[in-house]
């Protein structure tokens, strides 16, 4: 009897190999190859049979905007681009226990008033789903529940006339197609199950929401093609030790990307946070060294968050660099600029950086706020009170402009801030009060006192003068007197 051929498929990237090895040659991950049955016959070419001709159409034409189904949860509707689109596929990923099932149960309950909604779970029994609905206070919602893992059974049930308008699959890694020999959760099963469900959603016109598990790196588990197959990809982020949760859009064919929705986890489920800036700054203390308030942008939403820095003399040969909520490589760049261009010695000090509230920042505009927090921590001089700061730092020590300046300033003014430290606008735009992109600071419109800085020396001068007035930029790379006095013994330059 002939031996059955097998392949070893990487569960991270989908690369296939004829023999097992500890490390995948495609993505470099260890212990990710799983045995799967190979195809009995090699797929052949198209041959001589002709296909039907494709009908091409012009670029110009009339196309109606897809109708939206608004859930009533404003933060969820913001991230999806204005509501669910019929016939679309949406993928939600997040760490275990972060609240994905809780959020989707609330969304299903809100949409059940206008849509026929079905919630299919492959991980929980019907009784468990009912207990969650009762805890969330949505037990009376008209949501059809099912516990199933067979894609064939699900497709047969949803393909009938008068089927649901919204289907939630929790989760795609538990689904399986019985024509494949591999186990549920493998690359082949995840890819095939998603393909069959998405094809049915497009054909039948119902909205499909898939829940995806994530790897230890925070990426959605399974083949990368899964994110290309769906229309929208959302990540549910947050630290389980904090009550805040961030729903972030990283792909959206029907709306803007990089939009975020902010929720607060409570005993009765997830509640919306309409003003996240005020919530992130609720515990902030004034006149504390090593802290600055960063005015950032998340999609189209301005967001104010506190950045905290702590520096201390290190007893180790290699000082520690610990970062929470920001890019550690970018922190190393900022430290190098402060050391080389500003004469501020931090090479022998432990540096700890934290973004308060559990938020993750990816914007280069946070460079100036991080540098201000580090300088404040080293010198012991607090940031000027009621001041926001933002700007990008270059390797030569220059401070570059960032987009959407006016939106950031308006958000700061709305929360009671009176001053802002912003980059000096480029020379061609310096005489313009405001341009179309909002890249020029308009202090009169926002009601803030604007302080413009063009190089790191300008920022250092602000800490040398506690009154906050701008000093003359220093020609040398030596730190101001206020900083030298605040440095630990042996750290002062000059």
Q: Is 388 within 8 Å of 413 (Cβ atoms)? A: no
- Interhelix angle for 328-340 vs 367-379, to 10°? 60
Tokens representing 163 are 């089927």
Burial zone of 471 (CB within 10 Å; 0-12 exposed, 13-18 middle, 19+ buried)? middle
Q: In the chain, what are the domain boundaries?
A: 6-37, 68-274, 279-486
Mean pLDDT, to the nearest integer, of 332-360? Answer: 90
Say what the pTM is: 0.75
Q: What is the pLDDT of residue 474?
A: 35
CATH class of 68-274: alpha beta
Q: Which residues contact 231 (CB under 8 A, 6 or more apart)?
A: 85, 88, 89, 90, 251, 252, 253, 254
- Is the pLDDT higher at 183 or at 108? 108
pLDDT higher than 90, residue 405: yes
Q: Is 46 within 8 Å of 36 (Cβ atoms)? A: no
Q: What is the mean pLDDT of the chain?
A: 84
Q: Please name the helix (run of DSSP H) or strand (run of DSSP E) that holds residue 464, with its range, or none.
A: helix 456-464
pLDDT band at 271 (very low <50, low <70, confident <90, very high): very high
pLDDT band at 52 (very low <50, low <70, confident <90, very high): confident
Q: What is the pLDDT of residue 442?
A: 67
DSSP 454: -
CATH number for the 279-486 domain, one of 3.40.50.360, 3.30.230.10, 2.60.40.10, 3.40.50.2300?
3.30.230.10
Q: Please name the helix (run of DSSP H) or strand (run of DSSP E) that holds residue 158, with its range, or none.
A: helix 151-158
Give the range among 217-221, 351-355, 461-465 with minimum mean pLDDT: 217-221
Q: What is the pLDDT of residue 58?
A: 86
pLDDT higher than 70, residue 362: yes
- The Cα 280–Cα 374 span in angstroms is 20
Tokens representing 73 are 């949860």
From the list 301, 254, 274, the residue with the least C-alpha distance to 69 is 254
Residue with tokens 């206008």: 114
- The Cα 465–Cα 471 span in angstroms is 7
Q: What is the pLDDT of residues 275-295, one digit of tens each?
A: 888 878 877 877 789 999 999
Measured CA to CA in angstroms, residue 297 lies from 359, 368, 407, 487 at distances of 12, 14, 8, 33
- The Cα 218–Cα 172 span in angstroms is 17
From the list 124, 78, 470, the residue with the least C-alpha distance to 301 is 78
pLDDT band at 488 (very low <50, low <70, confident <90, very high): very low
pLDDT band at 79 (very low <50, low <70, confident <90, very high): very high
Q: What is the pLDDT of residue 435?
A: 45
Measured CA to CA in angstroms, residue 440 lies from 425, 427, 452, 486 at distances of 6, 11, 11, 34
pLDDT higher than 70, residue 440: no
- Please indicate whether the domains covering 68-274 and 279-486 agree at the CATH topology level: no
Q: Is 76 within 8 Å of 103 (Cβ atoms)? A: yes
pLDDT band at 90 (very low <50, low <70, confident <90, very high): very high
Q: Please name the helix (run of DSSP H) or strand (run of DSSP E) that holds residue 147, with its range, or none.
A: strand 143-147
pLDDT band at 14 (very low <50, low <70, confident <90, very high): confident
SS3 content of the chain, % helix, strand, coil (to 5): 25, 25, 50
Q: What is the pLDDT of residue 164?
A: 93
Mean pLDDT, to the nearest integer, of 144-156? Answer: 95
Q: What is the pLDDT of residue 445?
A: 63
- The Cα 458–Cα 461 span in angstroms is 5
Give the range among 76-90, 153-167, 201-215, 235-249 with minimum mean pLDDT: 235-249
- The Cα 107–Cα 104 span in angstroms is 5
Give the range among 149-153, 408-412, 427-431 with minimum mean pLDDT: 427-431
- The Cα 56–Cα 255 span in angstroms is 26
pLDDT band at 267 (very low <50, low <70, confident <90, very high): confident
Residue with tokens 């890819």: 191
Mean pLDDT, to the nearest integer, of 137-150? Answer: 95
């Amino acid at each position: 009897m002939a031996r059955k051929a097998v392949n070893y498929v990487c569960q991270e990237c989908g690369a296939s190999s004829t023999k097992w090895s500890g490390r995948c040659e495609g993505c470099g991950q260890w212990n990710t190859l799983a045995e799967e049955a190979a195809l009995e016959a090699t797929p052949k070419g198209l041959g001589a049979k002709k296909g039907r001709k494709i009908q091409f159409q012009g670029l110009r034409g009339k196309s109606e905007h897809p109708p939206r189904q608004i859930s009533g949860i404003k933060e969820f509707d913001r991230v999806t681009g204005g509501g669910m689109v019929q016939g679309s596929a949406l993928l939600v990923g997040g760490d275990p226990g972060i609240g994905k099932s809780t959020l989707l149960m609330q969304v299903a309950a809100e949409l059940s008033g206008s849509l026929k909604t079905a919630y299919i779970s492959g991980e929980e029994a019907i009784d468990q789903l009912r207990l969650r609905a009762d805890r969330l206070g949505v037990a009376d919602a008209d949501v059809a529940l099912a516990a199933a893992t067979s894609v064939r059974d699900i497709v047969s049930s949803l393909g009938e006339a008068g089927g649901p308008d919204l289907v939630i699959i929790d989760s795609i890694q538990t689904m399986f197609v019985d024509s494949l020999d591999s186990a549920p959760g493998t690359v082949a099963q995840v890819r095939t199950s998603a393909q069959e469900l998405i094809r049915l959603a497009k054909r039948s016109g119902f909205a499909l929401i898939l829940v995806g598990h994530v790897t230890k790196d925070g990426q959605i588990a399974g083949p990368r093609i899964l994110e290309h197959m769906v229309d929208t990809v959302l990540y549910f982020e947050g630290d389980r030790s904090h009550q805040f949760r961030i729903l972030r859009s990283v792909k959206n064919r029907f709306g803007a990307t990089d939009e975020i929705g902010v929720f607060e986890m409570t005993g009765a489920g997830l509640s919306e946070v309409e003003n996240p800036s005020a919530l992130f700054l609720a515990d902030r203390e004034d006149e504390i060294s090593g802290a600055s308030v960063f005015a950032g942008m998340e999609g189209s939403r301005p967001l104010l968050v506190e950045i905290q820095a702590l520096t201390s003399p290190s007893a180790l040969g290699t000082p520690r660099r610990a970062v929470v909520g920001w890019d550690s490589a970018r922190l190393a760049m900022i430290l190098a600029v402060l050391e080389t261009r500003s004469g501020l010695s931090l090479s022998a000090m432990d540096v700890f950086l934290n973004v308060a509230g559990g938020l993750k920042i990816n914007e280069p505009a946070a460079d100036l706020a991080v540098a201000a927090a580090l300088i404040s921590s080293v010198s012991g001089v607090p940031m000027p009170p009621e001041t926001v700061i933002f700007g990008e730092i270059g390797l030569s020590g220059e401070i570059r402009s960032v987009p959407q300046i006016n939106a950031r300033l308006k958000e700061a003014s709305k929360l009671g801030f009176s001053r802002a430290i912003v980059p000096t606008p480029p020379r061609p735009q310096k005489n313009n009060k405001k341009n179309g992109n909002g890249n020029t600071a308009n202090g009169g419109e926002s009601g803030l006192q604007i302080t413009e800085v063009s190089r790191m020396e300008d920022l250092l001068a602000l800490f040398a003068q506690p009154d906050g007035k701008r000093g003359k930029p220093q020609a040398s790379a030596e730190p101001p007197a206020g900083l030298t006095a605040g440095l630990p013994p042996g750290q002062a330059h000059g």
